[in-house]
Amino acid sequence: RWFTHFYVVSVLWNGFLLIWLFRAEFLGESLPSWIQDMHHALGRDSQNSEHFSALLVLLLLWLHSCRRLAECLWTSVFSSGVIHIVQYCFGLGYYIAVGATVLCQVPTNVRNGKELSVQICWYHIVGVMMYIWASLHQHRCLAILANLRKSTSGKVVSLSHSVPFGDWFESVSCPHYFAELLIYVSMAITLGIRNVTWWCVVMCVLFNQALAAVLCHEFYQKNFSCYPKHRKAFIPLV
């Protein structure tokens, strides 16, 4: 249940960054001095980055955090499990760093004189469509998990674990983790596919979600003798 804290921080922080980038892109304002100092430290001043791509990805990241926060508050049913302090601190730091990572893809001189319509490319459309598709499936899978602990009237009747069925659960044990990976891949596509920095973020998400999925998969196999043997842990067919 403390994952809720991650998304509260992300909504506030990345929303703040989104406002600054929006004002710089459309109102011609300069980015704050601390952001410019960060650019100088990372040597990003001369990077030829697409500003609209970064703005769009930051928006998608913020919307993702808003949805996950809403799901934590009103959809998910949490057990009495606890989170390790290291994982908790990592989660808080991650959502602060990932928004700053997007912002660092934009040169300090944001304005480039192009019209917004000219900047919309095919990979923006593909990335956003993939983002919506993965987000819908993630929400469905989280709703399936929550409904395992609810009665038909919607009242929570149990906090124990059960075997989920439906949607991507027919292929993998943790489809919501797989959807998380696809969401970050969709952002990599939205950034133009060739952004090495964001692919490093994708790899971080891959290893983190894969580890959690394998542990969850082993839990299911250990505690449910009738658990479907064809299901993989994380990625279908892998």
Q: Are residues 115 and 125 in the same domain?
A: no
pLDDT band at residue 79 using 50, 70 and 90 as cut-offs: confident
Q: Are residues 180 and 219 in the same domain?
A: yes
Q: Are residues 30 and 127 in the same domain?
A: no
Tens of pLDDT, residues 11-37 = 999 999 999 888 887 777 777 777 777
Q: Structurally, how many domains does the chain consist of?
A: 2
Alpha-helical runs (H) found in 75-121: 85-103, 116-119
Q: Are residues 188 and 125 in the same domain?
A: yes
Residue spans of beta strands (DSSP E) within 34-176? none
For the residues 50-59, what does the mean pLDDT come to?
88
**Residue 115 pLDDT more than 60?**
no
Beta-bridge mates of residue 232: 172
Q: Are residues 55 and 85 in the same domain?
A: yes
**Residue 154 pLDDT more than 90?**
no
Q: End of a domain among 119, 145, 174?
A: 119
* pLDDT for the residue numbered 46: 44
What is the Cα–Cα distance from 11 to 137, expressed in whole angstroms? 21
Q: Are residues 113 and 128 in the same domain?
A: no
Q: End of a domain among 99, 119, 139?
A: 119
* pLDDT for the residue numbered 49: 52
* pLDDT for the residue numbered 109: 57
Q: Which domain holds residue 58?
A: 1-119
Q: Are residues 105 and 154 in the same domain?
A: no
Q: Are residues 129 and 109 in the same domain?
A: no
Q: Are residues 163 and 126 in the same domain?
A: yes
Tens of pLDDT, residues 161-216 = 999 999 999 999 999 999 999 999 999 999 999 899 999 999 999 999 999 999 99
What is the Cα–Cα distance from 107 to 172, expressed in whole angstroms? 41
What is the Cα–Cα distance from 92 to 47, expressed in whole angstroms? 28
